[in-house]
Structure 1
Amino acid sequence: MEKHEDLAVDIARRDLLRTTGTAMLAGLTAATIPGALPAAPQGQAPAATSKAASLGARLQGVQHFGLTVQNMDRAFEFYTEVLGGTEVMRDGDFQGERIHNTLLTDEDIIARERGVNPRTRGIPDLRGGTQRLDVRFVQFDNVVIELLQYRDAGQPMGRGNSFADPRELMSPAFPRSMHICFYLRDDVDFNVFIRDLEAESARRGMTQVKANRVITVATEQERRSAPIESNSNRITQGKSDGWSLIYCKGPEGEQLEFVQALGPVKRTFQEAFQARQRSLAGR
């Protein structure tokens, strides 16, 4: 049975999410999240939930972050070979009315109401099969990232560019903008990490990978020539004491953040997590 049939798409998507959820739970270890509680044994019925219980009490945390990419192979190389993620699984060639409606109903309605060509709003034709959707899931220590590419039907999976042009306006200050934040280990030299990240990305031809600097620079040459200590912003007072961060563009032009939490701010996050676990265990 081919994937464009509704039942096949439904089953494939369900199995994809179930497999990735298992991989993410495996990544939530005590080494990365102090005080993490073990998952319930497989097959064990969930505890009864009152209708009055909060919606949050019915959640199991964040399953993954999604990123729609222009070039799947380039993005996959960056998140696995450069940043060290591990492939969970890949699937694709998704098409048909059911999956189109699942993902794009709202955008279709807006395009119809405004009388505009759906493509100008970045709406692929999955319904008719003119475009297809491919996905790859990448596991990090405590989170999964889903890479999505909407490609023309004649374009082989994982090759070439998306059916739509990339967005040009990518400022993180725009409402609805999103970013992926990576957490550096305690013993990593943040400034050296950023230097090496840019160098390795440039070696692979990923010239879009550029981190900001904490000093004012007016040109790309000044950014590259800035002293290494300007590669990260270390906060040393207030509630965020011990927090270091910098924003960076990824190979697709996506907004990334790298952070490190040491000292007081690390304890703040640990205590908040442990308090939440105690609260959940007491329900």
Structure 2
Amino acid sequence: MQDSENDAANLGRREMLLTAGAAMMAGATASSALAASPPSRGINSLSAAARNSGPLGARLQGVQHFGLTVQNMERAYEFYTEVLGGTEVFRHGDFQGDPVQNTLLTDQEIRANELHVDPQTIGVPNLRDGDQRLDVRFIQFDNVVIELLQYRNADEPMGGPNSFAPPVQNMSPAFPRMMHICFHVRDDVDFNKFITDLEVESARRGMTQVRANRIVRVRSEAERKAAPESANTNKVTVAPSDGWELIYCKGPEGEHLEFVKALGPVKQRFADTFAKREQALNGQ
């Protein structure tokens, strides 16, 4: 009985992940039905040996967290907990030593050797000898966790405003490897007002980087601020994205954020795809 309950909970969590946005595949409509009757055969009934020799996808539970390297840990923590309402799971810090260096940075050390340069010139800290340290904090939202990471010099305090490496100045979402965090806005929320309130609350806290784009063309920060509230939300009406509402925004660290709603036809498409995926994974 306990295993069935765990399977049901896992299905509910995985399905919620499928509605969180372009980076977090989405779907929220079939959660209770799927969780109520977990499959009696297929992926959830595989033995450990069978699972370990099966497809890679059968060995995953979904997306556990998104990681964000920050310059100012306390500022980022305040934004994701006090502004957006996440809950801290735990924090851990002062990571250093050879295993940590090797786990996180081997590829970059190899790259430095190939370039014949000091690793620090391409942003590689020296956790191995403790010159730099790594601190992390995990923030729980309803359907995913965000991990905040700060690499700092050993003489800098935990949670301080100074990171080991300088922040990237140009952060166009068009750059390959650039990523974003997408938050799923509740269906009955006034999206335009949500964006306005987000900017106002962030500005009140001195988080001047938190700026949302507009759907009308603006040529200056003054014009962006002067745009009407109705220009906050891009509502897509063309299939297959019809029902998708979104806005792109910068977070307090300059990170890319997206806020979305998945309504109507597009919401159903995500739910249908999730159901088909479950059926395929469970051999139904």
Give me the TM-score of the superposition, normalised by structure 1.
0.85
In structure 2, the residue matched to 1:20 is none
Deviation at 1:49, TM superposition (A): 2.2
Q: Is the counterpart of residue 194 in structure 1 residue 195 in structure 2?
A: yes
Q: In structure 1, what residue type is equivalent to 2:66?
A: F
Distance 1:208 1:141 in 2: 25
Deviation at 1:270, TM superposition (A): 1.1
Contact preservation (8 Å) 2:244, 2:260: yes
Distance 1:228 1:99 in 2: 47
Deviation at 1:25, TM superposition (A): 5.8
In structure 2, the residue matched to 1:58 is 59
Distance 1:177 1:73 in 2: 23
In structure 1, the residue matched to 2:160 is 159
Distance 1:100 1:56 in 2: 29
In structure 2, the residue matched to 1:255 is 256
In structure 1, the residue matched to 2:99 is 98
Deviation at 1:46, TM superposition (A): 4.6
Distance 2:106 2:35 in 1: 38
In structure 2, the residue matched to 1:269 is 270
List runs of 5+ in structure 1 lacking aligned partners: 1-23
Within-5 A mapping of 1:230-245: 230-245=231-246
Q: In structure 2, what residue type is equivalent to 1:162?
A: S
- Relative contact order higher in (CA < 8 Å, ≥ 6 apart): 2
Distance 1:50 1:201, change over 3 A: closer
Secondary structure of the structure 1 residue equivalent to 2:175: coil
Distance 1:78 1:46, change over 3 A: farther
In structure 2, the residue matched to 1:69 is 70
Deviation at 1:48, TM superposition (A): 3.8
Q: Between 48-57 and 271-280, report the one with greater CA deviation.
A: 48-57
Q: In structure 2, what residue type is equivalent to 1:163?
A: F
Secondary structure of the structure 1 residue equivalent to 2:106: helix
Contact preservation (8 Å) 2:51, 2:59: no
Distance 1:30 1:107 in 2: 35
Contact preservation (8 Å) 1:37, 1:277: no
Distance 1:228 1:157, change over 3 A: same
In structure 2, the residue matched to 1:14 is none
In structure 2, the residue matched to 1:80 is 81
Deviation at 1:155, TM superposition (A): 1.2
Distance 1:78 1:108 in 2: 33
Distance 1:29 1:204 in 2: 34
RMSD: 2.4
Identity of aligned residues (%): 63
Q: In structure 2, what residue type is equivalent to 1:28?
A: R
Deviation at 1:118, TM superposition (A): 1.6
Deviation at 1:268, TM superposition (A): 0.7
Contact preservation (8 Å) 1:49, 1:58: no
In structure 2, the residue matched to 1:114 is 115
Secondary structure of the structure 2 residue equivalent to 1:92: strand
Secondary structure of the structure 2 residue equivalent to 1:195: helix
Q: In structure 2, what residue type is equivalent to 1:189?
A: D
Distance 1:90 1:50 in 2: 32
Q: In structure 2, what residue type is equivalent to 1:57?
A: A
In structure 1, the residue matched to 2:23 is none
Secondary structure of the structure 1 residue equivalent to 2:280: helix
**Count of aligned pairs between the two proteins:** 257
Give me the TM-score of the superposition, normalised by structure 2.
0.84
* Deviation per residue, 1:23-43 (Å, 9 max, x gap): x96982877843354899xxx
Deviation at 1:45, TM superposition (A): 8.6
Contact preservation (8 Å) 1:27, 1:139: no
